[in-house]
Structure 1
Amino acid sequence: MKKHILMITPENKEINKFRKRQINNFIQITMPYLAAFIDEDKYDITLIDEYNQKIPFEAYYDLVVITVNTANAPHCYNLSKLFRNKGSKVAFGGPHATLLPEEAKEHCDVIIIGEAEESWPKFLEEFYCGNYKREYRCLNTPSLEGIPIPRRDLIKGRFFTKGAVFATRGCPYSCDYCNLKQIYEDSFRKRPIKEVIEDIKSIKSRFFVFWDDNFFGDIEYAKELLKELSKLNKKWAAQVTLERCKDEELLTLAKKAGCIYFFVGLESFSKNTLISVNKGINNVDKYKELINCVHKHGICVQAGIIFGFDTDTKEVFKTTLDMCNYLGIDGVTVSILTPLPRTPLHYQLSSEGRLLTQDWSYYNGKTRVAFQPKNMSPEELFSGYMWFRSNFYSLKSIVTRLKRSKTNILYNLIVNLGYKISIRKIVK
């Protein structure tokens, strides 16, 4: 007899309200990917993404699986309680369950720690047979060879934004505020290029995004992949390190392969700030040269900006806006510095007594401040962050930046105006 499995990509109401008004949110790939490992002779699968779906609490499921990130942890714990009260077994995995397994264990029946390529299929088989363990832990660094193509057919209502793919896993760098090293250990792995291409071919939409932490982590691998990708007539985006964009051949290949924009983690325009958080790979003096080079190749720059570093004063918001306008940065993903668990930043702020709460819902980097900044109050940090968002997407800034960028003007304008409308509604 088949067992019924519900797989949830959670999103609490606060962050959902914030994200739903934006127009370019691609799906989280974790659950569609894990669904591809499931034997459908043994399980009926229901995939739910709270970004655009309601959880079917009225139905019964033998097993409920939830991927837990830090900001959603309290929400996930509540979901688990509701399902366990109905007799379902609940399994947790994901970043927060991996970083704080002892805490997460208190709220579920099974915890899957670390990467799941080996432990997830083993758990599914043992659960089906009724003889499963309380904990499954990744003991080896999984290979990315021969992994299945995500079950995008199970995704509902997101035709244009369900094309997410990963070609590599991990990042070569170790920034103090990032938890990738704690999740993936110190490894950077590549998927066979042929298998990546087959995955991309299976995406019905012309548009997709690489979900890699650093798509240019291995330049020679990226070049070979781009040569094959250029044959598919797709449009895509990826997260890369700006420093790697000095390679003209790499940018030429990316454009020919259909790249629309790069997400680059600039984080700050202060040399001292970048050095203080171990982000020395970013060279502020080269920002203009490298961004101009990306634009010259017809690729937009979506910059990651973070506010709240110890070197930040109340002037940082205006200074950052001026620099973004000067450089013609096409778009930003702006965040509040967030001391995620087990990162060097979290240990530092904890030792200094500057963490304001252990309520993980404060750790989303978008709607709340979880720590005491050094040179301003938490309220001033949040107010300045919102001021920057509003002014970056003002008509004056949009026109200034597009004139300097001159890249993908129509696409760029649509995205910027979408964010402008989104921010106006959030502020209201």
Structure 2
Amino acid sequence: MPDDQPSVRASKTFCVELIRPSRYDDDGYVIQWWKSAYVSNTLACLHGLTQDEAARRSLGPEVEILADVHDEGNAPLQVSRIVRHIQHCGGHGLVCLVGVQTNQFPRAVDIGRQFRQAGIPVVIGGFHVSGMLAMIPEMTSDLKEALALGITLFAGEAEGRLGTLFADAYHDRLKPVYNYLGDLPAMGGQPLPQLPERMFKHVVSPEVTADLSRGCPFDCSFCSVINVQGRHPRYRTADDVERLVRASIPRNRGRNIRRFFFTDDNFARNPHWEAILDRLTMLREKEGLAVKFGIQVDVQAYKIAGFVEKSARAGCRYVFIGIESINPENLIAANKKQNRIDEYKAMLQCWRDHGVTTIGGYILGFPADTPESITRDIETIKRDLPLDVIIFHCLTPIPGSRDHMDLLTRGAWMEPDLNRYNGQYVTFRHPRMSDAEFQKIFDRAWELYYCPEHVETLLQRAATDGIGPSRLTGRILISHCSTAFEKVHPFECGVFRRKSRLQRRHGLPIENPFVFYPRRLWEILRTTVPTLLYALKLVWLTARFRRQARAAKKRKQQT
């Protein structure tokens, strides 16, 4: 507690339950895993902000704020238990569904519905609400449904606003809508993202996630970032990053968490990038803090003097690059003018020469795409570009993007089920492909890139040039098995699918256990066995190419 805060024993309690909702699968069951792939940055940000409000006793010296976090991606949500906890604490509380994307909004509303039936206040925030309110003047049917249930909508960013929201909830005066999109806060000096250590036990590869900047200077038509977080990026400082590292590593020392993922839409456009990387280098080389991290950048970032070199020296191990397409017509249509196809090979090789694994984001469904052109482009990538991992997405009109607004203005058809807006399904009418053709080539794209021959090429290349095949095996495993066996996008995959019979989409019947459990057993066998066999194959290939690389290096030294 700050020094100027009176030392008063709290006599009242206000419970804040922070929940990151998941999404429904095609059968209406919540997508959950024994271990999910990552921790949520938004959940970490909101928990850090809530802890700051608690430390400052922002509701008054007599009110203790108790915060708890729930990630539905790796743990079943115990609604009744949360309700009892809030009631036990005097009935003062707020359920916050945070970081809700468009594909998660139906699940978020269903969760909110259950809490509202128990009389618990609920607020939903995230990119879907913010994107809708940023671009569309009238409330859409999905937002009206939430409001009709008594759910509050929060648009914008929470820094500097949580105190008001908590006070309104505590005094039973919540507004239907809180809209802060016109007043984006500065990021420097703000409370840092943080999560309880127990949250890292439920992820495959524990990484501390943090956004060091928000907003983007580019104008891609498919992206909602510029209309939600602004065209003029805001930043954390090198001092903020050092505080984050020092706070994270000692707290998680028992779990050896030294890895970070900086979730900025484009880290290279942070004017403090050099100071941040120099500070991370200092922590690694002078203080022995073996920090490793991943970043997202644009294709032109490698041209910034010293950027790639300093990133690698500071501990960058992988970089996510928005390649999007190798078809010039598609890049023009997406207003992706900064992407120059003739420079892709040099750009990717530059990162790999510095020991950084390259992950490319690639969008299928731009206007010039056809099944034949997509197949041809993937073969070109495999043959000509030294890309390690590729992540495909169906072009999706995300609310908040110019693409979504254009389709809405024209009255064009868009998929009415928001649950399918996860980059895995066809959600609009393509000018040159039928829905069936579009979906088929998207599903086949993963098979084309991650075919056995190319997987061997990827691992052998990584072993030969020193990056190391083991840094690719996990990503290849998830990219292949999530789409081939689990039928989910790699970004929402994990280890061993959990499926609760009682957690099903609102309006769908609860299945008979004699129907559900036998089918579930077959699903487990059908997905787990081939996944384990594929993992063993990757391990064997990795060991084989490592031995070959060591032998080649030894022969070279001898000659």
In which range does the TM-score fall when normalised by the shorter chain?
A: over 0.9
Q: Which residue of 1 aligns with 2:155?
A: 113
Inter-partner Cα distance in structure 1 for 2:30 and 2:67? 29
Question: Residues 3-402 of structure 1: matches in 2 within 5 Å?
Answer: 3-14=14-25, 25-38=37-50, 39-40=53-54, 42-59=64-81, 60=83, 61=86, 62-67=93-98, 68-101=100-133, 102-103=139-140, 104=143, 106-107=145-146, 108-138=150-180, 139-153=182-196, 156=199, 157-158=201-202, 160-203=205-248, 204=252, 205-218=257-270, 220-230=271-281, 231-232=283-284, 233-247=290-304, 249-326=306-383, 327-366=385-424, 368-402=425-459
Kindly indicate whether the alpha-carbon contact (under 8 Å) linking 1:235 and 1:259 is maintained by their aligned counterparts in 2: yes
Inter-partner Cα distance in structure 1 for 2:162 and 2:198? 20
Kindly indicate whether the alpha-carbon contact (under 8 Å) linking 1:6 and 1:65 is maintained by their aligned counterparts in 2: yes
For structure 2, the residue ranges without an aligned partner over 5 or more in a row are 1-11, 55-62, 87-92, 134-138, 285-289, 488-525, 527-559
Inter-partner Cα distance in structure 2 for 1:403 and 1:337? 32
Inter-partner Cα distance in structure 1 for 2:131 and 2:420? 17
Q: Counting helix residues as a fraction of each chain, which structure ranks higher?
A: 2
Inter-partner Cα distance in structure 2 for 1:315 and 1:371? 20
Kindly indicate whether the alpha-carbon contact (under 8 Å) linking 1:325 and 1:400 is maintained by their aligned counterparts in 2: no
CA deviation string 1:72-125 (max 9, x = no partner): 111111111111011111111111111234342541432221111122221112
Inter-partner Cα distance in structure 2 for 1:20 and 1:206? 26
CA deviation string 1:115-157 (max 9, x = no partner): 1112222111232233443332224220112211223116523
Q: Return the letter of the residue paired with 1:297.
A: H
Taking only aligned residues, the RMSD between alpha carbons, in angstroms, comes to 2.4
Which moved further from structure 2: 261-270 or 352-361? 352-361
For structure 1, the residue ranges without an aligned partner over 5 or more in a row are none
Q: State the SS of the aligned residue for 2:397.
A: coil
Inter-partner Cα distance in structure 2 for 1:392 and 1:17? 29
Kindly indicate whether the alpha-carbon contact (under 8 Å) linking 2:24 and 2:107 is maintained by their aligned counterparts in 1: no
Inter-partner Cα distance in structure 1 for 2:151 and 2:162? 15
Which moved further from structure 2: 40-49 or 192-201? 40-49
Kindly indicate whether the alpha-carbon contact (under 8 Å) linking 1:32 and 1:154 is maintained by their aligned counterparts in 2: no
Q: Return the letter of the residue paired with 1:44.
A: L
Kindly indicate whether the alpha-carbon contact (under 8 Å) linking 1:23 and 1:415 is maintained by their aligned counterparts in 2: no
CA deviation string 1:203-235 (max 9, x = no partner): 2311110111101013x5212211111223211
Q: Which structure would you say has the larger Rg?
A: 2
Classify 1:155/1:71 alpha carbon distance in 2 versus 1 (closer, same or farther; 3 Å): farther
- Corresponding residue pairs, total: 426
Inter-partner Cα distance in structure 1 for 2:435 and 2:262? 34
Inter-partner Cα distance in structure 1 for 2:483 and 2:417? 26
Inter-partner Cα distance in structure 1 for 2:37 and 2:459? 22
Classify 1:378/1:245 alpha carbon distance in 2 versus 1 (closer, same or farther; 3 Å): same
Percent sequence identity is: 24
Which moved further from structure 2: 3-12 or 149-158? 149-158
Inter-partner Cα distance in structure 2 for 1:415 and 1:23? 15
Kindly indicate whether the alpha-carbon contact (under 8 Å) linking 2:223 and 2:400 is maintained by their aligned counterparts in 1: no
CA deviation string 1:248-301 (max 9, x = no partner): 511111111111111000000011110111001000011011111111111111
Q: Return the letter of the residue paired with 2:246.
A: K
Question: What TM-score comes out, normalization by structure 1 length?
Answer: 0.92
